[in-house]
Structure 1
Amino acid sequence: MKRRTKLKWIGGTALSVAILFAAGNVLLSNLTPMPKRLVEPVVVEYGLDDPRFLRTLEHILPHPLVGGNHIEHIEGGEAIYAAKLDAIAEAQDSINFEVFEFFGDRAAAAFADALAEAAERGVAVRALLDYVGTMPAEEEHLERMAEAGVEVIRWREPSWYQLPRFNHRTHRKLLVVDGEIGFTGGANVTDSWLPDDDAPGYRDHHFRITGPLVGNMQAAFVEVWLEASGELLHGDDYFPELEPRGELLMQMVSSKPREGMHRIRMMFKYAIAAARERITISSAYFYPDPSFLDALIEAAERGVEVRILVPGDSIDYGFVRHASVNRWRPMLEAGVEIYEYQPSMYHAKLISVDDRWASIGSTNIDNRSFRINKEGNVNVYDEDFARYVRGLVEDDLDDAIRYTVERWEERPWHKRLAGWVSMIAGAHY
């Protein structure tokens, strides 16, 4: 009898362990991104000037190529915020706003007032704000919007049924006004982008877009809003008929956690593999996986000029910089040029390849952007614009210092140690 009881207890314990193990696997699979992604090297026997490059990206990315667009560059936090606030003030039907960081007595206050005033005059206003990015937000600004009728959702606000995906943030910076004007780029909405007596403000670039592509930018917002609220936005207030406003051929690209292919990473690796002359990149956080670094090294070794601009000592997450620098030596020895911006935190996310293709938006060159965050980029297939984007980075290089192999070798021991600790801890912001 005792033996039977003991066996029953052992069986019950084993079943409990099995259930806990299965539950743990389910939890782990939700906490970590799906592992499926491009792992084999990409070998492209043609360049970006070949029709096969454009045709391939048109088919492997979910949003179509759209012609007839116009784009305006906006430089610096003050100008970026002013352009967005002007568009909000002129809105008639709808405003859809998605951003990672939103706080500050100057920046967030101005946007909260503008969005609230738009709602009070009858505009349908929705603000999708990342919860982590708005943790420092002043409650009065959020209340001001909500009381005026702005529909405010803080993305992934902690709740029992979303805890496994709490780490999956929205990092996009999208503003779509009346379904006709779209903004994207690198800037969040905080006082860090505004100059004061002590600092010039974060260095960044943003873009105002008009034309048919804005419909695809709106669709990217609508998809996330549906996931966050259960509400489908439709009709002319959100998707009006859009006339051509220019000559640019463009493509909206959005990514999300657990999508499997990690499409923006895949897109960047494909463009790097097709490069024949030059690759110009700027990124606030540069910490990709080894295979991505290998792609840059391979490009440099086949004679492509590869230049990368990142923040210097002013970076706001120093552990990312130290972890990244630890991996730089093979790139530096292969001829990849790496520069560190000096005057302030550098936050722009730009890439131009062979003066034929450019991509702008919210995506950093790191695994958090590639695998964990929701991101949004706009591809532009135009030689003049791709050359212009390269020029933006080159202008910023005037305020940067090149990082050499000698400098890498002379790093003090405490920086090397900080880098290794950050790498072991899985620094990937």
Structure 2
Amino acid sequence: MSADASGQRLLVMPDDGGGAVVELIDQARQQLLIKQFKLQSPAVEQALQRAIGRGVQVRVMLNPHTSGGDRWNDEAFALLQSWGVAVQWTSESFPVTHEKSMVIDSTAVLIATFNLADKYFNETRDYGVVSHDPAVVEQVIAGFEADWHRQFFVPRLDVGLVWSSAHSRGQMARVIDRATKTLWIQHPKFVDAVILERVVSARARGVKVRLLCGGKHGLSDWDVYDTFSSLRVMELFGVKIRRQKRPKLHAKLILIDGKAAMTGSMNIDRSAFDVRRELGIEVDAPAVIQRLIATFESDWREAKKYSAPDPLDPTYHESGELPPDPHFVHN
């Protein structure tokens, strides 16, 4: 996991595991800023306790509830509060804060698709990019401070970060539009007509498109309609689609031409683009791209060809699916 010359490195779950996150926390000597959708990891909590013990200033923002109303973070919130950590709920400006970020000593930042929870360290395919780029770190700190102090935040558009609800749809569309040879997509949810049209247009101009999805697993009943329909439309245009089961697909990744990528917290979903707080990052560091390619290719080999069933015919919706897991939902 050595840093690329560009200052970026990649974490891959479950390959690297929670220990990679604990290692980042243990490096902190001055400050940790953490904004998370879900915190459910005793190892991470213990690492935060160690950081407090050595005098690190720790501030944490946790999302209070999911879109379905589940309150996953109450226990972690109370625990951190009991240790004297400055902890508060995320900004009420967003119905959900799905961002998964951590700033270490104002010199490095982790931008991830995974939650700080053991399930995502051990069971799911997920990615995290560690960046040491001062402009990136400064911008994530600015976003943290704005949400912490309940202030309006206007992100810069020139540092390679992808913010919701600011400009993430347009940025993702532009990334897809740049593809000239290959477009590899690893996403669980497809609920946005703009991105669907961009993928179809890429295929129509001759780009070879591979798509890894998770089938129905983890989708809400209302997201099945759009996701299955989008998958069927893309298949009609020649997109090659496979369903990934192991590790469970929770990643959000777009790879173009084997040279650049976008990853982060946002699903391909209208609410992720328009109303939630989300954060992603564009990467082109060679070492990061090569590991993303190798991981995608490995997952592609293990996955099976998939044709989404008719969304209006639930008879076949569960065919070949993993058992339902109430704690694995694509918000």
Q: TM-score, normalised by structure 1?
A: 0.64
CA apart distance, 1:218: 4.2
- Tell me the distance in 1 between the aligned counterparts of 2:178 and 2:28: 41
Task: Say yes or no: does 1:219 pair with 2:176.
Answer: no
**Alpha-carbon distance change, 333 to 172 in structure 1, aligned in 2, over 3 angstroms:** same
Task: Say yes or no: does 1:170 pair with 2:105.
Answer: no
**Alpha-carbon distance change, 209 to 78 in structure 1, aligned in 2, over 3 angstroms:** same
Aligned residue in 2 for 1:145: 80
CA apart distance, 1:353: 0.8
Structure number with greater Rg is: 1
Q: Deviations over 1:104-133 (max 9, x none)?
A: xxx1x3222321331232111111111115
One-letter amino acid of the counterpart of residue 73, structure 1? L
- Where does 1:326-341 land on structure 2 (aligned, <5 Å)? 326-341=229-244
Aligned residue in 2 for 1:89: 26
Which has the larger displacement, 313-322 or 272-281?
313-322
CA apart distance, 1:229: 2.6
**Alpha-carbon distance change, 205 to 86 in structure 1, aligned in 2, over 3 angstroms:** same
CA apart distance, 1:179: 1.4
- In the alignment, structure 2 segments of 5+ residues that lack a partner are 152-157, 319-329
- Tell me the distance in 1 between the aligned counterparts of 2:14 and 2:290: 23
Aligned residue in 1 for 2:267: 364
- Tell me the distance in 2 between the aligned counterparts of 1:230 and 1:166: 11
- Tell me the distance in 2 between the aligned counterparts of 1:267 and 1:216: 16
Look up the SS of the partner of 2:24 in the other structure: helix
Pairwise CA RMSD: 2.9
2:107 and 2:134 in contact (8 A); partners too: yes
Correspondent of 2:220 among 317, 334, 338: 317
Look up the SS of the partner of 1:79 in the other structure: coil
Aligned residue in 2 for 1:413: 313
Look up the SS of the partner of 1:125 in the other structure: strand
- In the alignment, structure 1 segments of 5+ residues that lack a partner are 1-66, 157-161, 196-200, 232-249, 419-427
Aligned residue in 2 for 1:204: 126
Q: Deviations over 1:144-202 (max 9, x none)?
A: 3223232111114xxxxx5xx452x221111111112221221102232254xxxxx12
Which has the larger displacement, 290-299 or 321-330?
321-330
Aligned residue in 2 for 1:12: none
**Alpha-carbon distance change, 176 to 321 in structure 1, aligned in 2, over 3 angstroms:** same
Q: Deviations over 1:290-321 (max 9, x none)?
A: 23212211111111011121113432535424
- Percent identity, aligned pairs only, is 22
* Higher helix proportion (structure 1 or 2): 1
**Alpha-carbon distance change, 102 to 414 in structure 1, aligned in 2, over 3 angstroms:** same
Task: Say yes or no: does 1:399 pair with 2:302.
Answer: yes
Task: Say yes or no: does 1:282 pair with 2:186.
Answer: yes
Q: TM-score, normalised by structure 2?
A: 0.82
Task: Say yes or no: does 1:273 pair with 2:177.
Answer: yes
CA apart distance, 1:93: 0.5
**Alpha-carbon distance change, 188 to 218 in structure 1, aligned in 2, over 3 angstroms:** farther
- Tell me the distance in 2 between the aligned counterparts of 1:225 and 1:70: 24
